[in-house]
A and B are shown apart, each in its own frame.
Chain A
Amino acid sequence: MDVLTLARLQFAFTVGFHYLFPPLSIGLGLLLVIMEGTWLATGKPIYHQMARYWTRIFGLIFAIGVATGIVMEFQFGTNWSVYSRFVGDVFGSALASEGIFAFFLESGFLALLLFGWDRIGPKLHFFATCMVALGAHFSAVWIIVANSWQQTPAGYHLVETAAGRWRAEITDFWALVFNPSTVDRLTHTVLGAWQAGAWMVVSVSAWYLLKKKHTDFAGRGLKIGLIVAVVASLLQLVSGHDSAVGVSRNQPAKLAAFEALYKTGPAPLWLFGWVNEKEQEVRFGVAIPRGLSLLVSGNPNEPVTGLDKIPEGDRPPVNVVFQTYHAMVAIGMGLIALSIFSLIQLLRGAIYEQRWLLGLLVLAVLGPQLANQLGWASAEIGRQPWIVYGLLRTADAFSKTVGAQPIVASLVLFSLVYALLFAVFIFLLNHKIQHGPEESDLPPTTPLQQEPRADV
């Protein structure tokens, strides 16, 4: 394989693995705030137990998120040095802001969240929990700003450097931050993360109910999880729609690939199908006629730009973008239906006997994870062949000094190490879930009253 393919494979693999964890940190962060806030508001010990239980799982997830995240920050330089030189002036400030405003906040207050239960008062601890959640959300803000700038560059101009290379330089910081796709994509990503966290809580709670263990704990957890899931998935419907309209305006080639629209004109909305890229048609599919026109412009007769208006060399691969996009949409719709139905059953008190539904909820934790991965894949592959849309091609952006062999070596190592990490993560997560909530977490602890342990 050539260096370009290897470098892309390595980036896709490492970012895909990394992205299993940050959405959980963001989503669980929100749920921890809700759980601990409910404890402070009601004084019921079970919410204290719940907050501590999920804090432990949060800590595990966070550690792997940090460990795999640092790889991403280095990788722009190691494998994409041409890209780094081109975007450093623009992209770097977002990344540096992420470090200063998000990561420090998150990891600093994480110390209090994880280890501060017995050292600080409940209100201060709650504040720390809020700061961790806020930091996690800020980290999403800055990385999405940087990524959105790659999709829809704004607030820059091109300048030739002394070394005779062109690079993008900032002209307007706020135009860069609020480039045309930032808000849509940030909302979409954060709601996806909330769903990841909510379904994690739903899944574990449903499993306890299925096994008839910790039923009070699990019932309350299920309720919190499902309420967040319903709210987030309904908001996601609005956000997804806005994102698609934004893509139609800013990246017509990507929208055309989403819907395999080869010919400009009033366009159908596919529910599913298989794209034959050679014949430029969708097979075995079902479509709503003129649905896409209606959705993006409100007018069924409005023409939508097709791939025929995009020069052949500037078109993204269509079928993979089409499939990942439609799978994401299908999962999203399924999660809306499942969360609303389950919440109704829970409120009626019927869910405890509906074992099939509980079983489905246990598995549903995979839904948002898959949708998050597939959605990112379609967003990033849909941007191809550009690494910075319209400005720099992916094929021109990799490190010229790194040969194929070192990348094969690092890719093999990443695969082995990440496989090990994943196995250990699942093993420990399962261990914690099997172990269940600690009885000793029920009574609230008071600050600094813990006796020194004799075994130290």
Chain B
Amino acid sequence: MFNVPILNLVWFILVGVLFTGYAILDGFDLGVGTLHLFTKTDAERRVMLNSIGPVWDGNEVWLVTGGGALFAAFPEVYASVFSGFYLAFILLLFALIFRAVAIEFRSKMEMGWWRQMWDVGFSIGSVLSALLIGVALGNIALGVPLDANHEYAGTFLGLLRPYPLLLGVTTVALFAMHGAIYGVLKTEGKLHEKLRSWAKRSVAIFVVCYILVTLATLLWVPHMTETLGAYPWLYVVAVFNALAIANIPREINLGRDFRAFLSSCLAMVALMTLFGIGMFPNMVFSMPSPENSLTVINAASSQKTLWIMLIIAIIGVPLVLTYTAVIYRIFRGKVRLGPMSY
């Protein structure tokens, strides 16, 4: 459809896969963090923390590897976005740092104030991470001022426009929903029932946000829907997305928690696919000078590098998926607090 070398297309998809993997996996970690302060007792909070305890840092590696792949495959995007969104990314880093160390530090001491402090750090870090990730995606979709050298020519406050902020809030809602469903899977008793009701509520909040984002995209970001308009069969993805989302409350009501979680994962895959379809072949839209947009061609590394990295990915990714699956299998089931727990 566009005249794009196959390797550039493959890496556009692979970078997308890595970030989708990140959204699905760390998404529920950040969602659990978002809901964390709604639980009141220490035992409940420990169950929340330990539901993600063994897996959260493996999940964060998807972001690290996604960032590495972006650097390697599309260095111009990495350089322009990270330097352009400087303060936003620094804030994201602090949010991720607090999230990470709060998990590790919180339960090491008994004092109430100590635990409360890290609970707040964990929760704010999680919400802020989700928000900033959404804001960044909103900006590259809406378009940011890039000059002919692909350098960002705007300001920090210029990033906080309504559309990106709306996408940020939507991301928080999406992760909260995803985290609530994950929590339903991992808990039992009273907390389980609480999370079940939060899951239903957060689905509703997410659906409202999602409808608003769709409307805003149609109104303000028409270039995100051009490809869909040109190739109407791609609406299959949008329909699939709607079905996956609609299926979540249904499965929760039927008590099929794992299927609800699976639906939530599939909805995220569909959302990221729609985002990718809207962006392609662009990676960062430039506004007001669209000719300066970063694309899968002008932002990419050499064909040789893309080829070498593809070999690395073909060797590495199946290994990663295999032992990740085995580890999730070993830690399946409800959370049990033990002597090594957080």
Chain A residue nearest to B104 in the complex (CB) = A63
Q: Provide the residues of chain A in CB contact with B105, threshold 8 Å.
A: 424, 428
How far, in whole Å, are A63 and B148 apart by their CA atoms in the complex? 41
A73 adjacent to chain B (CB < 8 Å): yes
**Interface 9-mer from A239-247, A257-265, A405-413:** A405-413
Please, what's the 1-or-0 string for A76-113, where 1 marks a CB less than 8 Å from any CB in chain B?
Answer: 11110110110111111101111111011101111110
Knowing A92-B75, A100-B317, A110-B57 are in contact, say whether A170-B96 is a contact too (CB < 8 A). Answer: no
CB <8 Å contact, A108 and B58: yes
Please, what's the 1-or-0 string for B41-69, where 1 marks a CB less than 8 Å from any CB in chain A?
Answer: 00100010000011101101101110111
Chain A residue nearest to B50 in the complex (CB) = A115
CB <8 Å contact, A100 and B336: no
CB <8 Å contact, A67 and B100: yes
CB <8 Å contact, B83 and A170: no
- A372 shortest CB reach to chain B, Å: 22
Chain B residue nearest to A456 in the complex (CB) = B337
How far, in whole Å, are A448 and B261 apart by their CA atoms in the complex? 26
We find that the number of chain A residues with CB closer than 8 angstroms to chain B is 84
CB <8 Å contact, B94 and A406: no
Chain A residue nearest to B69 in the complex (CB) = A96
B157 adjacent to chain A (CB < 8 Å): no
CB <8 Å contact, B79 and A92: no
Q: Provide the residues of chain B in CB contact with A74, threshold 8 Å.
A: 67, 82, 89, 93
CB <8 Å contact, B304 and A171: yes
- A70 shortest CB reach to chain B, Å: 6
Q: Provide the residues of chain B in CB contact with A171, threshold 8 Å.
A: 304
CB <8 Å contact, B71 and A108: no
We find that the number of chain B residues with CB closer than 8 angstroms to chain A is 76
- B152 shortest CB reach to chain A, Å: 5
B308 adjacent to chain A (CB < 8 Å): yes
- A129 shortest CB reach to chain B, Å: 14
Q: Provide the residues of chain B in CB contact with A170, threshold 8 Å.
A: 302, 304-305, 308
A70 interface neighbour in B93, B103, B316, B331, Cβ under 8 Å: B93
- Mark out the residues of chain A between 47 and 74 whose CB falls within 8 Å of any chain B CB in the assembled complex: 52, 55-56, 59-60, 62-64, 66-71, 73-74
A399 adjacent to chain B (CB < 8 Å): yes
CB <8 Å contact, B54 and A100: no
B97 adjacent to chain A (CB < 8 Å): yes
Q: Provide the residues of chain A in CB contact with B260, threshold 8 Å.
A: none
B341 adjacent to chain A (CB < 8 Å): yes
Please, what's the 1-or-0 string for B299-341, where 1 marks a CB less than 8 Å from any CB in chain A?
Answer: 0011011001100110011001001100100110001111111
Please, what's the 1-or-0 string for A433-456, where 1 marks a CB less than 8 Å from any CB in chain B?
Answer: 000001010000000001011011
A159 adjacent to chain B (CB < 8 Å): yes
B79 interface neighbour in A64, A84, A120, A159, Cβ under 8 Å: A84
CB <8 Å contact, A63 and B103: yes
Q: Provide the residues of chain A in CB contact with B335, threshold 8 Å.
A: 456
CB <8 Å contact, A115 and B79: no
CB <8 Å contact, A56 and B340: yes
A288 adjacent to chain B (CB < 8 Å): no
CB <8 Å contact, B83 and A79: yes
Knowing A104-B58, A417-B94 are in contact, say whether A456-B338 is a contact too (CB < 8 A). Answer: no
B108 adjacent to chain A (CB < 8 Å): yes
- A423 shortest CB reach to chain B, Å: 11
CB <8 Å contact, B337 and A92: no
Knowing A73-B64, A115-B341 are in contact, say whether A89-B93 is a contact too (CB < 8 A). Answer: no
A400 adjacent to chain B (CB < 8 Å): yes
CB <8 Å contact, A401 and B330: no
How far, in whole Å, are A97 and B322 apart by their CA atoms in the complex? 17
A60 interface neighbour in B75, B104, B148, Cβ under 8 Å: B104
CB <8 Å contact, A96 and B327: no
A402 adjacent to chain B (CB < 8 Å): yes
A314 adjacent to chain B (CB < 8 Å): no
A78 interface neighbour in B65, B83, B327, Cβ under 8 Å: B83
Q: Provide the residues of chain B in CB contact with A103, threshold 8 Å.
A: 61, 64-65
Q: Provide the residues of chain B in CB contact with A165, threshold 8 Å.
A: 149
- B234 shortest CB reach to chain A, Å: 29
- B52 shortest CB reach to chain A, Å: 11
Given contacts A92-B72, A95-B71, could you give 14 more A-B pairs where the C-beta distance is less than 8 Å? A67-B97, A67-B101, A89-B301, A92-B75, A100-B320, A103-B65, A107-B61, A110-B58, A170-B304, A401-B152, A402-B86, A432-B108, A440-B339, A453-B337
10 sample A-B contacts, Cβ–Cβ < 8 Å, listed by A number? A52-B340, A78-B83, A78-B90, A85-B76, A92-B301, A99-B68, A101-B316, A107-B61, A112-B327, A115-B53
